[in-house]
Structure 1
Amino acid sequence: MGAPLPSPGVGPPPHEDAGACASCALSPGSARLARLGMDPGRYDHVIALAGNPNTGKSTVFNALTGLRQHVGNWAGKTVARAEGGFSYGGVGYRIVDLPGTYSLLSTSTDEDVARDVLLFGRPDVVVVVVDATRLERNLPLVLQIRQITGRVVVALNLVDEARRHGITVDTRHLTRELGVPVVAMAARRGQGVPDLLAAIAQVATTDDPPAPLRLVHRDAALERAVADLAAKVEARFPGVPNSRWVALRLLEGDAGIEEAVRNGTLGDLATPVEAA
């Protein structure tokens, strides 16, 4: 296993101003990336790629895998899926492109798929692609994912567009606030891809990832209800990840989670992460 992640904000900032050629995934300086397309072959780690629609998520996926388009369906769903692979530093990665979604609060089938893979599939890394020009719209999804896992890398995409609009983002400050690496990118120009690869490798191999964010409610009665329900979830489904998050979804009336508890399939909700 690799060394633990450095403290947030420590170390050099991402190469936000590097030229397209210098930071291109195909340049000599990043020759450790091997795109494996639709057949990842043997892989050591699974990456889930998440993000709001229109953030450039597919561009990031294609930059890593070399795919232009590979679409199928998730098991038992009509939701499109894409996956591929790449090798970096001699390590194989399988990347699963989740449906673009604004939330994990389950108001659509797309959100069901994304939530189930992130919560129950236990990917080694979750790369969340956000639009630097609309960061305030994208951060709610990042925070929801951080409540599930600390194995997150935020790909701050479209920084070139942000500059044209006079917007700059302090990636060091954002890294400190979120507790996970934030990488500045202009994926369609190839900028930031080497930094993203390095962050993915670091998060995938750390023995000590950041803990999931825990939102503590001021209402003591609500906190007791969450704790009691989480204990019951753990008792019925031993080993289920993040029982507190499951308890919160149950209290909020998440129909998909409720049905999975009733029929006993809660621990099986991540089966779509396996290759179809």
Structure 2
Amino acid sequence: MGLTQQSCGSSASKAAARGKRLARADYVIALAGNPNTGKSTVFNALTGLNQHTGNWPGKTVLRATGNYTYQGLVFQLIDLPGTYSLLASSPEEQVARDYLCFGRPAATVVVLDATCLERNLNLALQVLEITSRVVVCVNLIDEAARKGISIDYAALAGELGVPVVPTAARSGWGLDELRQTIAGVAAGRIATRPRLVRYSAAIEKAIGKLEPRIKSLLGDGFPARWLALRLLDQDPSVIAALEKGLARPDPAPAGLKEVVLL
């Protein structure tokens, strides 16, 4: 019995120590992507066994967090649920969207499948509407090569306005470049200028009216353009989040409801 208690105590101590290690990070990085893009393989390859799993607050959706060290700095990687969209039609989509919008990670890695790039780019463009600090990881390039698919990564980076890193996560190919690029974007050494989707003149005019009002209420730390689009869509979950003041730790600022109800 004594040996069993000692073993349990040792395991608890190790778990607590690991929890402390996971809590300390120089940069927090979000990992987003469609299902079946190898996103979890990228997560596991970067973090190894230094991981912790649980549920997102108030959700039954699994939350996976892991750390890795690069150039003496600790990066905490948040593996967001696999999703095809950020329009929040499912709990997984809502978790991913809310974290990217309100969690404000230092950088977001969007994992794409090199064998079906066009389908995956829809999510990448939606993420770029929320944050400019993005690294696009084109994974499964070994599978693409077997299918005779060739991708011009430099041209893709030019079109998106953010760095693009090809990887084959199962073999570890490209992960060193991925770590280097993540560190550069997170620290601001790599500038990003994402190409945003432009809408009709009427929608752009409405966005132009809403953006400054949102910024005056929430500050520059939140994606005013994206929030304006969601308000124009009358997205109920975004409206509820804003009305409850979930975008900031203190209560929703005076005047927010007026913007929400426009």
TM-score (norm 1): 0.78
Separation in structure 2 between the aligned mates of residue 69 and residue 206 of structure 1, nearest angstrom:
26
Tell me whether 1:204 sits opposite 2:186 in the alignment: yes
User: What's the CA shift string for 1:69-125, capped at 9, x where partnerless?
Assistant: 743100111111100101111011111000001111111111111111111211111
Provide the TM-score with structure 2 as the length reference: 0.82
Matches within 5 A, 1:116-195: 116-195=98-177
Q: In structure 2, which of residues 39, 43, 58 is the aligned counterpart of residue 57 of structure 1? A: 39
Whether the 8 Å CA contact 1:55–1:130 is kept in 2: the answer is yes
Which one has a bigger Cα radius of gyration? Answer: 2
Alignment match, 1:264: 245
What stretches of structure 2 of length at least 5 have no aligned partner? 1-16, 250-262
Contact 1:157 1:186 in 2 (8 A): yes
1:217 alignment partner, one of 190, 199, 214 = 199
Question: Is contact 2:135-2:162 (8 Å) kept?
Answer: yes
Query: Contact 2:113 / 2:138 at 8 angstroms: preserved in 1?
Result: yes
Find the counterpart in structure 2 of residue 81 from structure 1: 63
The CA deviation at 1:53 is 0.4
For residue 130 of structure 1, give the secondary structure of its aligned residue in structure 2: strand
Spell out structure 1 runs of 4+ moving beyond 4 A.
none
Q: 1:163 to 1:68 in 2, by over 3 A?
A: farther
Partner Cα distance (2:26, 2:51) in 1: 23
- Between Structure 1 and Structure 2, the one with more helix by share is 2
**Match among 227, 233, 236 for residue 252 of structure 1:** 233
Hey, what's the Cα distance between the residues in 2 that align with 1:214 and 1:164?
A: 32
Residue type at the aligned position of 1:190: G
What is the CA distance between 1:217 and its match in structure 2? 2.5
Amino acid at match of 1:161: E
Counterpart check, 1:228 vs 2:209:
yes
Displacement of 1:207 in angstroms is: 5.3
Amino acid at match of 1:152: V
Q: What SS is found at the alignment partner of 1:99?
A: coil
Q: Indicate the residue corresponding to 1:243 in structure 2.
A: 224
Residue 49 of structure 2: SS of its match in structure 1? Answer: coil
The structure-2 alpha-carbon separation of the partners of 1:214 and 1:158, relative to structure 1 and needing over 3 Å to count, comes to closer
- d(CA) in 1 for partners of 2:163, 2:189: 16
Q: 2:49 aligns with which of 54, 67, 84?
A: 67
Seen in structure 2, the aligned counterparts of structure 1 residues 75 and 240 have a Cα distance that, compared at 3 Å, is: same
**2:135 and 2:182 in contact (8 A); partners too:** yes
Contact 2:29 2:76 in 1 (8 A): yes
**Greater relative contact order: 1 or 2 (C-alpha under 8 angstroms, separation 6 or more)?**
1
**SS at 1:72's partner residue?**
strand
In structure 1, how many angstroms separate the alpha carbons of the residues matched to 2:34 and 2:89?
14
Q: In structure 1, what is the Cα distance between the partners aligned to 2:38 and 2:166? A: 13
Tell me: CA distance 1:200–1:265, structure 2 relative to 1, closer, same or farther (3 Å).
closer
